[in-house]
Amino acid sequence: MTTPVLPKDFVWGFATASRPRRRRRGPSIWDKFCKIPGKIADHSSGDVACDSYHRTGEDIALLKETGAQAYRFSISWSRIIPLGGRNDPINQAGIAYYAKLVDDLLDAGIVPLVTIFHWDLPDELDKRYGGLLNKEEWTEDYAHYARVLFEALPKVKYWITFNEPWCSSILGYSTGLFAPGHTSDRSKSDVGDSSREPWLVGHNFLIAHGKAVKIYREEFKPKNGGQIGITLNGDGVYPWDPSDPLDVEAAERKLEFSISWFADPIYHGHYPASMIAQLGDRLPSFTPEELALVQGSNDFYGMNHYTANYIKHKTTPADPADFLGNLETLFESKNGELIGPETQSFWLRPNPRGFHDLILWISHRYNNPPIYVTESGTSLKGENDLPLERILEDDFRVAYFDGYVRALADAVSEGADVRGYMAWSLMDNFEWAEGYETRFGVTFVDYEGGQKRYPKKSAKAIGPLFESLIKKE
């Protein structure tokens, strides 16, 4: 029999992000990016996606059916301010949509966790002044946008400033895999400097985060209560050769180049020494005013986690475009041990122990902060090609959640302060550069058959799993 170890106020639920182009939403950099041939796996776009905009009633009913206690969703900046800027018109219909969604969730007994920015910068701001690269203009426009949301949605008690700034910075401005597609690789883009732009963008994210948190804490938290933090993505790590000190060191460096890039300034007031050593003056410095905004600017740590890698050090000097920390990420160890089974996503191999170890690593490095796991889940290899009855029997995903949630519970029993878990995702959706070829949902969405939803086995398994692990008293 399972011994409950999660605190009685632990919250679990699901996360989604969808933004169909309706109700006067302006174009985002992703709308523009999707139109470039070859950028999206199946040549699709997120114009309709799973159409949550028109189906919030259905989606809330789905949440209730699973027993979910919380729902994390992302707000589309260009639905609130179509052109994006602090002097541009506000779309009241967009505000009304999100206000009703929050009210409907609360009426259903479901806690909303709201992400302010999930990669989709209004395209006008990119054209107007270079978007995320412009520290002065963009951080002020973001701070204004955040204030508009704080004012409009006073019932929201959990705010996430940014979702995975690593992805926006590296995939958007180094590899060119994500919007706006900047890269030094001229076969992929005619704009971009992979050696400098991602580090500037990451720095600007931290300053914008700090500005939004200051506004919330000074103007809204005293009257509304609530908490605010940032969500960072990070993979579990194992040394490729555990007996090689250079591989052990490289594994630590991999975490620093992904997680600590953002978390160290917030919790410790400086960038990691390994990044400073490799990047030199390409890594921006904080002014005293910027550091005052950034340091201490998390009420909780938002954690997105899916997979793990073996880490092997490199002996050659770091390439100017390197963003990993001069190392290799592998799925197979020196001894030939695989990190986990294949999925539909080239980057994802399930490994529950990596999740457990990473929770403890974050807890130790950042003085045991409250952690909310704001995304975690898996795709299944070939799922999209299966008949519906087999898609609904997603035992692989059931096993993923069982392994990962139990790994989380083990970390809590060892002292980690984890307070919530949001499975990605409530339903199949537009998976960015992977388009619709990859499904992550616990609910199947029939895109061709009128967007009808069909709960999979995993939708029904996750509730009893948490029920067995959460303390009753």
Q: What is the pLDDT of residues 418-472, one digit of tens each?
A: 999 999 999 998 766 666 678 999 999 988 877 889 999 999 999 999 999 999 9
By CB atoms closer than 10 A (0-12, 13-18, 19+), residue 292 is middle
If phi > 0 it is left, if psi is from -120 to 50 it is alpha, else beta; for residue 176 that is left
Q: Is 431 a catalytic residue?
A: no
- Establish whether 252 is a catalytic residue: no
Return the pLDDT at 48. Answer: 44
Q: How many helices (H) and strands (E) does the chain have?
A: 18, 13
Contact call for residues 181 and 267 (beta carbons, < 8 A):
no
State pTM to two decimals.
0.96
165 found inside a domain: yes
The answer to whether residue 131 sits within a structural domain is: yes
Whole-number pLDDT of residue 125: 98
Residues 109-165 pLDDT 10s: 999 999 999 999 999 999 999 999 999 999 999 999 999 999 999 999 999 999 999
C-alpha 157/C-alpha 159 separation (Å) is 7
pLDDT of residue 22: 52
Q: Give the pLDDT confidence score for residue 447 in this predicted structure.
A: 82
> Which residue is catalytic, options 124, 252, 290, 375?
375
- Any domain includes 246: no
Task: Fill in the DSSP letter of residue 392.
Answer: S
Q: What is the DSSP string of 432-466?
A: GGGTTS----SEEEETTTTTEEEE-HHHHHHHHHH
Domain that holds residue 437: 11-238+262-309+344-466
Strands of 144-226, DSSP E: 158-163
Strand partners, 372: 302, 420
What is Dmax (Cα atoms) for the chain? 60
- Whether residue 267 lies inside any domain: the answer is yes
Element (H, E) at 303: strand 301-304
Helix (H) / strand (E) element for 114: namely strand 111-117
Taking the C-alpha atoms of 7, 372, 286 and 325 in order, what is their torsion angle to the nearest 10 degrees? Answer: 110
What is the 8-class DSSP label of residue 261? H
What's phi and psi for 14, nearest 5 deg?
-135, 160
CA 349 to chain centre: 17
Is 232 a member of any domain?
Answer: yes
Is residue 319 assigned to a domain?
Answer: no
Tell me if residue 151 falls in helix, strand or coil. helix
b/e for 273-291, b at 16 or more Cβ within 10 A? Answer: ebbeebbeeebbebeeebb
Q: For tokens 């990691």, name the residue.
A: 272
Q: In this structure, is residue 336 part of a structural domain?
A: no
Q: Is 470 helix (H, G, I), strand (E, B) or coil?
A: strand
> How far apart are alpha carbons 63 and 71 in whole angstroms?
8
Q: Is residue 157 part of a domain?
A: yes
* Nearest partner of 303 among 391, 390, 373, judged by Cα: 373
Question: Using CA atoms, how far apart are residues 139 and 212, in angstroms rounded to an integer?
Answer: 9
CATH number at residue 416: 3.20.20.80
Of residues 328, 333, 334, 353, the one with CA closest to residue 414: 353
Q: Are 304 and 258 in contact (CB under 8 A)?
A: no
Domain count, the chain: 1
The residues facing 239 across adjacent strands are 311
pLDDT less than 70: residues of the chain:
1, 18-23, 40, 42-54, 431-436
